[in-house]
């Protein structure tokens, strides 16, 4: 059986939703969708069967491809859910994104019995995370969130084990969305890099399976609208971010806030992606910032304009903290390119794990990584390995932890009582000429050069632990390029003075110019 579905949309200033349906009246074992666009265009679609279950997803900017839903994972395209092909009314839900030219495409749907045609995308993978038996919608009913993995054999053993700083990449794409690598290629690159985990964040698509591997692979989704992106890391089931109206849910302030709420309800991380990188910056003005758990401060450093965008994001981060919005920093390569490819001719190639986010947790499981990242037990790096600890009253704290007041009652009554704290740091793999910068309450307070023959560093400070303060650390090279960034330690209770994104971005240019000028004078 075959159906030919054709559609043309006008030059809309915002994404448009459309639905095309076809009736499957005969028995079938597989279904193939051939997509052909007049020209390359950014669009997405997902396919629902007669029971309302999502059976295939796709997001890309290519002009021709074939997606197959077969009886087994080995015969099905990535992003699909293999299994029985029920008779009845099937639907293709399509979102076309704004472009200079109209979106014009044809979809040829073929269903059959016997030999299953090959798709143009990689297969789903032998390690299935989703099936259609337990729920009508996508649900990670086969994924083991508590399976423990072994750390990479390439781990740097010069730093103490307690329990472990696990190395990972929180943002990457495959051919299922607009990436160029297969799941196998990404896995191999991550293992070669010495990573312990990766997070797969396809645009508006849940990864349904993965090749069998000893690497921890955590499912996520990059919720992608024309007004900004955020990663939902650790979703357990599908969230409807499209709806059935002409304007998708994710394109309105109210709709995006609802999506953020649903991610939070599932216990997943909501991570604001590349918030200052034009034209992919966050443009939703009415987003309450407490809806996010983390902010992607450091996105692929090889991408044009990302160095400046990272500096801007760090300054906004300080402003968020100064106003009681305690978002934890995170990094991700946002990998799209093939090995050796660069966004700039002759430039540095984009790589898995650049930057790497190191997460401290007891054991290497998906749940442990997610929970630790939510609590800020992490730092980001392009090379240096760190072991940051804050000491107070004989206790040791991790990044992201609140320093507690352990004074006696008599001492607590003395409002002038200060607590002595020591920020201790071990550093390896920092290049010659690198230096450390400590920031307290968003202001630079101490700089120290890194001696390649010295691994241990300490910075002493005094705080009244009843007041709100925070301290964070950067590592920079001799050209002042960012090498590492550690999440804050803090004390006291923050007071929220600003909430909405629009209250934090109007000053961004002035702030970035200020930080560049300050560091140029150091």
Alpha-carbon gap, residue 482 to 311, rounded angstroms:
9
Q: What is the pLDDT along the chain (522 residues), one digit of tens a residue?
A: 777 776 665 556 678 888 989 999 999 999 999 988 766 667 888 999 999 999 999 997 666 889 999 999 999 999 999 999 999 999 999 888 765 556 667 889 999 999 999 999 999 999 999 986 655 579 999 999 999 999 886 654 444 444 689 999 999 999 999 999 999 999 999 999 999 999 999 999 999 999 999 999 999 999 999 999 999 999 999 999 999 888 999 999 999 999 999 999 999 999 999 999 999 999 999 999 999 999 999 999 999 999 999 999 999 999 999 999 999 999 999 999 999 999 999 999 999 999 999 999 999 999 999 999 999 999 999 999 999 999 998 999 999 999 987 654 554 444 456 799 999 999 999 999 999 999 999 999 999 999 988 999 999 999 999 999 999 999 999 999 999 999 999 999 998 889 999 999 974 444 334 333 333 333
What architecture does CATH give domain 384-491? Answer: Sandwich (2.60)
Alpha-carbon gap, residue 155 to 350, rounded angstroms:
22
Question: Within 10 A of 103 (CB to CB), how many other CB atoms are there?
Answer: 25
Alpha-carbon gap, residue 473 to 458, rounded angstroms:
12
Output the CA torsion sign for 171, 176, 180, 184.
positive
pLDDT at 10: 54
Would you give the end-to-end CA distance of the chain in angstroms? 71
Total-model pTM: 0.92
Alpha-carbon gap, residue 153 to 196, rounded angstroms:
9
Alpha-carbon gap, residue 151 to 363, rounded angstroms:
9
The residues spanned by each domain of the chain are 2-124, 163-382+505-522, 384-491
pLDDT at 152: 83
Pull the structure tokens for residue 112: 């059959």
pLDDT at 368: 97
Alpha-carbon gap, residue 462 to 471, rounded angstroms:
11
HSE of 57, CA atoms in CB hemisphere, 13 A: 25
Please give the CATH topology (third level) of the domain spanning 163-382+505-522: TIM Barrel (3.20.20)
The number of helices, as runs of H, and strands, as runs of E, in the chain is 7, 28
Question: Within 10 A of 146 (CB to CB), how many other CB atoms are there?
Answer: 9
pLDDT at 522: 35
Contact 59, 203 (CB under 8 A): yes
Question: Within 10 A of 174 (CB to CB), how many other CB atoms are there?
Answer: 25
pLDDT at 6: 67
Please give the CATH topology (third level) of the domain spanning 2-124: Jelly Rolls (2.60.120)
């Amino acid at each position: 059986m075959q159906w030919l579905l054709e559609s043309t949309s006008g030059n809309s200033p915002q994404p448009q939703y459309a639905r095309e349906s076809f009736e499957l009246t005969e028995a079938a074992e597989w279904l193939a969708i051939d997509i052909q666009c007049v020209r390359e265009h950014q669009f997405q679609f997902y396919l629902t069967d007669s029971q309302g279950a999502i059976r295939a997803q796709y997001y890309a900017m290519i002009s021709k491809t074939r997606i197959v839903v077969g009886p087994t994972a080995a015969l099905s395209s990535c992003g699909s859910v293999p299994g029985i092909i029920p008779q009845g009314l099937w639907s293709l839900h399509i979102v076309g994104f704004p472009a200079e030219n109209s979106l014009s495409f044809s979809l040829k749907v073929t269903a059959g019995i016997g030999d299953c045609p090959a798709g143009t995308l990689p297969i789903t993978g032998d390690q299935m995370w989703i099936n259609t038996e337990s729920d009508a919608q996508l649900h990670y009913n086969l994924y083991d969130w508590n399976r423990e993995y072994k750390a990479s054999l390439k781990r740097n053993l010069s730093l103490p084990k307690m329990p472990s700083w696990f190395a990972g990449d929180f943002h990457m794409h495959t051919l299922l969305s607009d990436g160029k690598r297969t799941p196998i290629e990404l896995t191999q690159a991550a293992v070669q890099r010495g990573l312990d985990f990766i997070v797969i964040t396809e645009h508006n698509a849940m990864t349904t399976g993965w090749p069998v591997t000893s690497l921890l692979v955590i499912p996520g989704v990059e919720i992608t609208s024309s007004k900004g992106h955020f990663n939902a890391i650790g979703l357990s089931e599908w969230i409807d971010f499209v709806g059935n109206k002409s304007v998708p849910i994710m394109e309105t302030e109210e709709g995006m806030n609802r999506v953020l709420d649903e991610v939070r309800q599932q216990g997943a991380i909501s991570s604001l992606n590349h918030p200052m990188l034009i034209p992919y910056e966050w443009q939703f003005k009415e987003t309450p910032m407490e809806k996010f758990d983390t902010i992607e401060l450091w996105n692929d450093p090889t991408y044009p304009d990302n160095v400046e965008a990272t500096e801007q994001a760090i300054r906004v981060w300080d402003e968020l903290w100064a106003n009681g919005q305690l978002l934890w920093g995170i990094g991700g390569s946002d990998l799209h390119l093939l090995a050796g490819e660069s966004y700039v001719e002759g430039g540095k190639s984009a790589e898995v794990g650049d930057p790497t986010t190191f997460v401290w947790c007891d054991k290497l499981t998906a749940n442990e990584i997610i929970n630790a990242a939510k609590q800020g037990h992490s730092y980001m790096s392009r090379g240096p390995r760190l072991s940051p600890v804050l000491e107070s009253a004989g206790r040791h704290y991790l990044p992201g932890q609140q320093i507690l007041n352990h004074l006696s009652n008599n001492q607590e009554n003395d409002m002038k009582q200060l607590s002595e704290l020591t920020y201790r740091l071990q550093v390896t793999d920092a290049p010659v000429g690198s230096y450390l910068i400590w920031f307290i309450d968003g202001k630079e307070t101490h700089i120290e050069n890194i001696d390649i023959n010295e691994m241990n560093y300490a910075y002493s400070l005094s705080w009244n632990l009843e007041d709100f303060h925070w301290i964070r650390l950067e590592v920079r090279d001799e050209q002042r390029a960012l090498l590492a960034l550690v999440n804050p330690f803090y004390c006291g209770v923050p007071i929220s003075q600003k909430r909405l994104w629009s209250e934090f971005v109007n000053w961004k240019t002035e702030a970035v110019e200020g930080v560049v000028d300050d560091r140029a004078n150091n």
